[in-house]
């Protein structure tokens, strides 16, 4: 809606995980390096965690564009599956032939193992990536550990990358999953952007979208950081809504009022008129305690007079 108004070629703050828009902060570069290590390593588990909207899935999409030709990847996004369903999905992703009515866990595992051995003999490697892995049930995680038992003298034949929210680390710390935790060869937690990185992040996305001028001026970057906590997805949602607001009001760029209004509209989990963190409410009009007290006292007096007038006369 606002693209032609601001002379943009495409939406700069879409929440779709487009690798073209990936801003590689130092943290994102390290996260991507860990995933690449997982592909080139000698087997085991690689763990990547981060808060919702921190950019985990976008980093993963960027990884998929750098997959070596000798490497086959199975990518599972919805892991709320039973053991049988997970094994069937792995077979489907790797192109392993299985009867449509197959339900035997042993048969699935035998087919997967045969595929991995054949791939290794051909000089190929295989990586299983599971996104939103905090949703995996403990019995499914244990079965995944068993899949990594197949190995040669040099390496395991299946590398597994687990990507999920911070609670994934807590899940893997359970006593029943100790053996799996011991097979994690690399861990990385993706932190939000710093305030300094937000400036480069905005410039990067706006430049890709064709912007020739600072639509969100540097004076607002500190406020944007406090509103979003540095989480890229929240930054995108706030900036998209703020640009829409600036367009609707005929402004050349986003200003403080427009950004605060956008925060009221889109920040999650808060009523429309009270969506800002407490530290930010000093920028908003505050209720007047004296006026409120006066009105409350007046209301109480009115109720007392009304009750008195209804008492029977002696």
User: What is the C-alpha to C-alpha distance for residues 260 and 272, in angstroms, rounded to an integer?
Assistant: 12
pLDDT at 198: 95
pLDDT at 284: 41
Tokens of 140: 């499914």
Go through the domains of the chain in sequence order and give each one's CATH number: 26-190 (3.40.50.300), 195-278 (1.10.8)
pLDDT at 282: 42
User: What is the C-alpha to C-alpha distance for residues 109 and 30, in angstroms, rounded to an integer?
Assistant: 33
Collapsed DSSP state (helix, strand, coil) of residue 103: coil
Identify the helix (H) or strand (E) that includes residue 142: helix 138-147
What is the pTM for the complete model shown? 0.78
pLDDT at 290: 55
pLDDT at 41: 72
Q: Nearest-CA neighbor of 168 among 206, 138, 124?
A: 138
User: What is the C-alpha to C-alpha distance for residues 85 and 108, in angstroms, rounded to an integer?
Assistant: 10
- 45 phi and psi, to 5 degrees? -110, 145
CA dihedral 137, 138, 139, 145 (to 10 degrees): 110
> Could you report the per-residue pLDDT of 12-22, keeping only the tens digit for each?
999 887 778 87
User: What is the C-alpha to C-alpha distance for residues 132 and 88, in angstroms, rounded to an integer?
Assistant: 18
pLDDT at 291: 56
pLDDT at 312: 58
Query: Which residues is 45 bridged to in the sheet?
Result: 160, 184
Residue ranges of the chain with per-residue pLDDT less than 70: 268-296, 298-314
């Amino acid at each position: 809606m606002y693209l032609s108004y601001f002379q943009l070629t495409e939406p700069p703050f879409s929440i779709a995980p487009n690798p073209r828009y990936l801003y590689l902060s130092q943290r994102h570069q390290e996260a991507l390096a860990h995933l690449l290590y997982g592909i080139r390593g000698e087997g085991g588990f690689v763990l990547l965690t981060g808060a919702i909207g921190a950019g985990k899935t976008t980093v993963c999409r960027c990884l998929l564009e750098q997959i070596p030709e000798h490497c086959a990847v199975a990518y599972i996004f919805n892991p709320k599956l039973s053991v049988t369903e997970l094994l069937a999905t792995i077979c489907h992703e790797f192109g392993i032939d299985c009867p449509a009515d197959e339900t035997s866990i042993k048969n699935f595992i035998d087919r997967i193992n045969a595929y991995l051995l054949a791939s290794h003999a051909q000089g190929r490697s295989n990586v299983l990536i599971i996104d939103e892995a905090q949703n995996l049930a403990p019995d499914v995680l244990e079965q995944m550990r068993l899949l990594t038992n197949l190995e040669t003298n040099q390496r395991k034949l299946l590398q597994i990358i687990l990507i999920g929210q911070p609670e994934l680390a807590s899940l893997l710390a359970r006593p029943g999953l100790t053996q799996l935790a011991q097979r994690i060869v690399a861990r990385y937690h993706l932190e939000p952007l710093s305030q300094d990185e937000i400036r480069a992040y905005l410039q990067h996305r706006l430049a890709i979208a064709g912007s020739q001028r600072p639509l969100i001026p540097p004076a607002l970057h500190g406020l944007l950081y406090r509103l979003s906590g540095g989480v890229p997805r929240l930054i995108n949602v706030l900036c998209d809504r703020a640009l829409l607001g600036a367009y609707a009001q005929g402004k050349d760029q986003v200003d403080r009022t427009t950004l605060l209004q956008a925060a009221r509209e889109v920040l999650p989990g808060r009523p429309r008129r009270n969506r800002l963190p407490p530290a930010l409410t000093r920028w908003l009009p505050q209720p007047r305690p004296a006026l409120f007290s006066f009105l409350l006292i007046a209301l109480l007096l009115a109720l007392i007079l009304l009750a008195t007038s209804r008492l029977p006369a002696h």
